[in-house]
Amino acid sequence: MSGPRPVVLSGPSGAGKSTLLKKLLQEYGSVFGFSVSHTTRDPRPGEENGKDYFFVTREVMQRDIAAGDFIEHAEFSGNLYGTSKAAVRAVQAMNRICVLDVDLQGVRNIKKTDLWPLYICVQAPSLEVLEQRLRARNTETEESLAKRLTAAKADTESSKEPGLFDLIIVNDNLDKAYSTLKEALSEEIKKAQGTGCS
């Protein structure tokens, strides 16, 4: 395969995936395309349907999963999340590098497909910092925060499994983490720019 590879960003909720992705899209808007996932969770203030997620009911999502419309799906923190085939196809049709933001279950399930992405894990420097960031983001209830921290504890150890990720970025200083991400993607960015995609 000679085209640019898709990129999977994973890591605990609150580690900084969306923040890094936003910077990447700001700098290389026409090179990358975000694979818009489906979720049954409620939108946060400022989130747009069709841009951040497709916000759907569990009934609709379960129906579409059963119909074979999803590459992968997972239950996270009491909600369903999933990557539809159409979401990835839409980005690839524009000849852009497809970026997916998925949890660890998503990583393992994507490994069973032929998508062949680069797997990058974003971690906060510690669980304490992760909790501070999640609290400061002010998007979670105490219940949802607790579930996310429990998932983070379980996933942080599993993420170290040899060969699971191509790269683990510790997002302590944001600019440094962003430079590391850009460096890791530089070959793919060059390839995408070389194919003359707009």
44 given a catalytic annotation: yes
Q: What is the DSSP string of 68-120?
A: T-EEEEEEETTEEEEEEHHHHHHHHHTT-EEEEE--HHHHHHHTTSS---EEE
Determine if 102 is a binding residue for ligand 5GP (CB under 6 A).
Answer: yes
Instruction: State which residue, 103 or 188, has the beta carbon closest to ligand 5GP.
Output: 103
> Which residue type occupies 114?
D
Instruction: State which residue, 64 or 87, has the beta carbon closest to ligand ADP.
Output: 87
Which segment (20-28, 79-87, 127-135, 179-187) binds ligand 5GP by CB under 6 A?
A: 79-87
What mask of x and - would describe binding to ligand ADP in positions 80 to 119, judged by CB under 6 A? Answer: ----------------------------------------
CA distance 133 to 138: 9
Instruction: State which residue, 19 or 62, has the beta carbon closest to ligand ADP.
Output: 19
Interface pick for ligand ADP out of 60, 94, 154, 174 (rule CB under 6 A):
174
Determine if 62 is a binding residue for ligand 5GP (CB under 6 A).
Answer: no
Determine if 83 is a binding residue for ligand 5GP (CB under 6 A).
Answer: yes
Interface pick for ligand 5GP out of 61, 88, 103, 181 (rule CB under 6 A):
103
Residues 90/52, Cβ–Cβ less than 8 Å: no
Determine if 133 is a binding residue for ligand ADP (CB under 6 A).
Answer: yes
CA distance 89 to 166: 23
φ/ψ of residue 169, rounded to 5: -105, 125
- C-alpha torsion angle, residues 59, 63, 64, 70 (rounded to 10): 90
For 42, counting Cβ atoms within 10 Å of its Cβ (0-12 exposed, 13-18 middle, 19+ buried), the class is exposed
Instruction: State which residue, 170 or 197, has the beta carbon closest to ligand ADP.
Output: 170
Determine if 15 is a binding residue for ligand ADP (CB under 6 A).
Answer: yes
Q: Which residues are annotated as catalytic?
A: 44, 137, 148
